Copies of this chain bind each other. A is one copy, B any other.
Amino acid sequence: MIKKRLEALRNLMSERNIDVYMVPTSDFHQTEAVGSYFKAREYMSGFTGSEGILVVTMDEAALWVDGRYFIQAEKQLKGSTIVKMEMDQPGVPTIEEYIVERIPSEGVLGFDGRVVNAHLAMALDEAVLDKMASIACEEDLVGMIWEDRPSLPTGEAWLLTEERCGESSASKIEKLQTYLEENNCDMQILSTLDDIAWLTNMRGSDVENFPVVLAFMVVTPAEKILFMDENKLSGELAAQFEKDGIEIRPYEGIYEFVAGVNNIETVLVNLNTLNYKIYSNIHPDIEIIDDFSPTQLWKACKNQVELENTRNAHIKDCIAQTKFIYWLKHNVAKGGITEISAAEKLLQLRQEQEGFIDLSFETISAYMANAAAAHYHPTADDCAELKPEGFYLVDSGGHYCDGSTDTTRTIVLGPVTDQMKLHFTAILRGMIRLSKAKFLYGCNGRNLDILCRGVIWDMGLNYRHGTGHGVGHLSTIHEEPNGFRWKEVEGINDGAILEVGMVTSNEPALYFEGEYGIRTENEIVVQKDFENEFGQFMKFETLTFVPIDREAIDKSLMTADEIQWLNEYHAEVYSKISPFLSEEEAAWLKEVTAEI
């Protein structure tokens, strides 16, 4: 099937004299996960991971994937003729190198300019210049061969009330307008859906698992224009926008609008996320200020109302997860539970919670060796049955009316080896050490990462991803600019100073290909500790309260203060969650949260 699609694409390329065609994983906004309309790369390659870039020439095709997906891509590309390229591994060419190598002199590189960010497009343009090659970015070739392509989403856009988010859109936009004036920006073009959702307090269902709305927004000191499908607006939201003076224009109208702007001197955009087509339409006399939107930092620092709501959402989500673990432990020996049916059970338990909206990302439900792929998702064809032995890893979360969650637990289903306990305990120690960190204001995630990762490094091991990412509030689940990561990764802006209210995941892991994977993840939020002569000390508040499987803990490997943290944590899990459980469940929770 993939071969036929590649053939059809190559026919179109041939007709247009396009030598190399690039299919990235993106919508028009560089959203991390994309709705079904935008799954062109998946359609063309069969690879279902959340990231990856496909490059097709007349006789070759290659897919670049990062460390999370090395194993999954290997499996899914089988028989497709597409070669897997492991990003950042020695000897593997970059996409740019690959394209430059293959494009003929005076050749043409094609892509849909709406789904490639301006920085990447400019870099490619520069790179193929040596070969006198040019870029064709006006046509969406995959769209032309994709017969049963899903339509753009049409779900309702609704208002996240001030009781839920703590600040009116009018107040946020006013703050932004002041910022623009103070920084000599005559206009900002916002193209990222999470920033627009935060700024307008609008939520929707346009992206799978992210309650945001497909839209662009233009803000000037005087104007605020939202480019989106007006039919989606709920009555409440339409009224609010009218009251706030937010003008609505058609979604695709952004391109023509930008092309018509010629009376300003400066425009603030982020070329890492702005799509190339919009960028190309900016009048060449306008000075481009290429920077992060200030909304990114404002959004990341959750206010007291958001935090109070988030705490509620987490309790509900943790109840569902705790019930799930109880159910799994008591039923796995009976047989018949698969990775998919387990995930469905967990979804059902979440749905029973008040105000549940959606999963906050596709559940990672992975038994033993399947969990060695950090972002494994079972499929109907390839789905393991859970047995009463070893580890089962579940990384999942939900959006509720009051907030969003992201948790991972590795659950003992039966006998585990000493080595598995050694690894589980190491992960847990790292997670605890970061959770209980005390640090002076001014630290960022680069400073703190080794508290967690150092336990793993001491064993000569590593996990090839950040220790944690910022978590959005009824938005994208991965959020910048905060995170825990020891060194900068190109394109990821997660080294911000840790500010009060920033919610970040804390998720160390270990992966052993062919054997098992372990990850333990809580969400933590930055809070002030005390201030003294040395400055403002900071600490983390834990938001997630789900039991950590004591059956895989080797207490002898832990320090006294780590044991104390765990015991206090488990006591809190019990006190917060047990009131919402059945008698049997509560009795079980008492046992599994007892002191070690």
Interface of A toward B, CB cutoff 8 Å: 437-440, 442-443, 446-451, 454, 457-458, 460-462, 464, 486-487, 529-530, 532, 534-535, 537, 559
Contacts and interface: CB of A to CB of B under 8 A. Distances in A.
B461 A534 contact: yes
Contacts of A449: 447
Nearest to A530: B460
A535 to B, nearest CB: 7
A534 B462 contact: yes
17 contacts: A437-B450, A438-B454, A439-B450, A440-B462, A442-B487, A443-B486, A443-B487, A446-B446, A447-B449, A447-B450, A447-B486, A451-B451, A460-B529, A460-B530, A460-B532, A460-B537, A462-B535
A134 B486 CA distance: 46
B447 A460 contact: no
Contacts of A532: 460
A532 B461 CA distance: 9
A312 to B, nearest CB: 31
Question: Which of A448, A460, A529 has the most C-beta atoms of chain B within 10 angstroms of its own C-beta?
Answer: A460
Nearest to A556: B560
Q: How many copies does the complex hold?
A: 2
Contacts of A460: 438, 529-530, 532, 534, 537
For the complex of A and B, 6 pairs with smallest distance between CB atoms: A462-B534, A438-B457, A447-B486, A559-B559, A438-B458, A442-B487
A437 B454 contact: yes
B439 A457 contact: yes
A440 B454 contact: no
A457 B439 CA distance: 6
Contacts of A448: 450
A451 B455 CA distance: 11
A443 B440 CA distance: 21
A450 to B, nearest CB: 6
Contacts of A442: 486-487
A548 B438 CA distance: 27
Contacts of A462: 440, 534-535
Contacts of A458: 438
Nearest to A439: B457
Contacts of A438: 454, 457-458, 460
A394 to B, nearest CB: 25
A194 to B, nearest CB: 28
A508 to B, nearest CB: 14
A447 B534 contact: no
Contact of A440 (B439, B457, B530, B535): B457
Contact of A447 (B437, B447, B530): B447
A252 to B, nearest CB: 44
Nearest to A531: B460
A447 B460 CA distance: 17
A27 to B, nearest CB: 33
Given A443-B486, A462-B534, 11 more contacts: A438-B454, A438-B457, A439-B450, A439-B454, A442-B486, A447-B450, A447-B487, A460-B529, A460-B530, A460-B532, A461-B534
A562 to B, nearest CB: 10
Contacts of A486: 440, 442-443, 447
Nearest to A90: B535
A454 B451 contact: yes
A74 to B, nearest CB: 16
Contacts of A454: 437-439, 451
A304 to B, nearest CB: 25
A414 to B, nearest CB: 29
A457 B448 CA distance: 12
A536 to B, nearest CB: 11
Contacts of A443: 450, 486-487
A361 to B, nearest CB: 26
A526 to B, nearest CB: 15
A457 to B, nearest CB: 5
Contacts of A535: 462
Contact of A457 (B461, B464, B537): B537
A458 B464 CA distance: 28
A492 to B, nearest CB: 15
Nearest to A450: B447
A466 B449 CA distance: 19
Contacts of A537: 457, 460
A487 to B, nearest CB: 5
Nearest to A458: B438
A446 B449 CA distance: 10
Nearest to A433: B454
A534 B442 CA distance: 30
Nearest to A449: B447
A458 B448 CA distance: 13
A437 B456 CA distance: 11
A494 to B, nearest CB: 14
A529 B457 CA distance: 11
Contact of A451 (B440, B450, B530, B534): B450
